[in-house]
Chain A
Amino acid sequence: MAEKPEPVKVLYCPTCSLPAEYCEFGSDFEKCKPWLIKNAPELYPDLLKEADEKEAERVSEQLHSVGISSIGADGSASSVQSGETSSSKQEEVKRLPGGKIKKKVRQEVVIEKVVRNKRKSITIIKGLELFGIKLSDASKKLGKKFATGASVVKGPTEKEQIDVQGDIAYDIVEFITETWPDVPETAIYFIEDGKKVPAA
C-alpha cells in the first residue's frame, strides 16, 4: 500500500446532515427536498417529477385564485401574503425529531445574586449562550475583570450558566454590553426577590 487512498467526498445534506442518499430516511424529508432537487437530482428521479407536478399545480392554483378575485389586483397580493405567513410559522415552530415542538427561546440574559454565606454571594449569569457567546470564554473574561473565580456550571434545567464568585451585579451590565455589543441592555434582567426586573 504505497499510494494514499484519496478521501472520498461525500455529499451531505445541510438540512438533516445525512448523506444525500439517506435523506429519504431522515427526520424531515420534506424539508430536504428543495436542496436535493438542486444538488442531487440523480439520486431521486421521482422527486424531480413530483416537483414539476407541484410547480404546475401551484401555477394553476395561482391562476385560479386570481381568476376568482378578479375585482382587483389584491387577489394575487393576498395569496403571496398567505405564502409568507406559512413559511414564517414554519420557522418559529421548530420540530424536533421526536415530533415534539420546540418553542423559540427568547434572547435574554438573566442575572441573579445568590447569598451563599451571609456576607458572601455568587452572581449567576444565565442566557449568554443565546447570543452566540462561548460560555467558557465569557467566564474567563468575567473572572479576569472582577478578579474572582468564574466558572461554567450546569444549571437546574440542563442549561449552562456562569457562576461568578462575589457580588458583581453592580457593574456587570456595563461589562456585558461593552464586551459583547450584540447584547442589548434591554435584554438584561435582574432577579430581585424572585421577580424579573429589567436592568435598563
Chain B
Amino acid sequence: MFKKFSSDEVSSQNQVKASVQRKIRQSIADEYPGLEPVLDDLLPKKSPLIVVKCQNHLNLVVVNNVPLFFNIRDGPYMPTLRLLHQYPNIMKKLQVDRGAIKFVLSGANIMCPGLTSPGGALDDEVDAETPVAIMAEGKQHALAIGFTKMSAKDIKTINKGIGVDNMHYLNDGLWKMERLD
C-alpha cells in the first residue's frame, strides 16, 4: 500500500479540533490497550495533532512532524513500524518463515503457507480483519504491519492464498518518511 508513497500524495493536512483528537485517542487506546500508559507521551494533549489526508482514503496521524499512526477510510488505526519497534508488544504477532521475508519486504501480501510452515508462528486469538504485526523467523523486530483477511484458525485450516494483507513494511514509502514537513 505504501510501496510508492511520498509527500506528493498528501492532499491536505489539518490540525484537528480537540473533539476529533479525543476520538482518535480513544480509538487508538481501544485498539491497543498496551499502549495506554504511554499514550500521553505519544500524543501529548498540549501539542497539536495533525491529520494528514492522502490519496486512497488514507489518513496519517502526525505529531511533531512524525507520522505515528495511519488508517484507511474509517478502519482501525495502525501504528507505523518505527512506533511498533519501540513498543513491540502492543499488537498481536504473526511470524513468517525466513523464505517469506524477501517477498514481504518488497510488498507482497502474506500467504498462509508462510505462516503455517515450521518457521512461522500464529497467535490463535487473531480474528479476521484485525491489524497484526508481522514478525520473521529468527528476527527480533517486526518487518511489516498487516491486516488479516482470515482468522488464525482459518489460516491454519485453509492454508492457501492470502492470509494477511501487507499494509506497511520496512523500507516502503511510509518507512522512508521519517519526518513529514
Which A residues contact B (CB, under 8 angstroms)?
Answer: 1-5, 7-10, 16-19, 21-22, 25-27, 136, 154, 158
Contacts and interface: CB of A to CB of B under 8 A. Distances in A.
A1 B34 contact: yes
A2 B105 contact: no
Interface stretch (B67-75, B109-117, B138-146, B159-167): B138-146
Given A5-B87, A21-B141, A26 B171 contact: yes
Nearest to A18: B170
B33 A7 contact: no
A21 B85 CA distance: 13
Contacts of A136: 181
20 contacts: A1-B34, A3-B37, A4-B38, A5-B34, A5-B38, A5-B89, A7-B38, A8-B86, A10-B141, A17-B171, A17-B175, A17-B176, A18-B170, A18-B171, A22-B105, A22-B139, A22-B141, A25-B102, A25-B105, A26-B171
Interface of B: 8, 33-34, 36-38, 41, 85-89, 101-102, 105, 139-141, 143, 170-171, 175-176, 181
A16 B171 contact: yes
A27 B89 contact: no
Contacts of B89: 5
A8 B176 CA distance: 20
Interface SS of chain A: helix, strand, loop or mixed?
Answer: loop
B8 A19 contact: no
Given A22-B139, A27-B171, A158-B8, A8 B87 contact: yes
Nearest to B83: A7
A22 B34 contact: no
Nearest to A27: B171
B97 to A, nearest CB: 14
Contacts of A19: 85, 140-141, 170
**Which 3 A-B residue pairings sit nearest by Cβ, starting from the closest?**
A7-B86, A10-B85, A4-B37
Nearest to A16: B171
Given A1-B34, A1-B37, A25-B105, A10 B175 contact: no
A58 B29 CA distance: 56
A8 B87 CA distance: 6
B139 to A, nearest CB: 5
Contacts of B37: 1-5
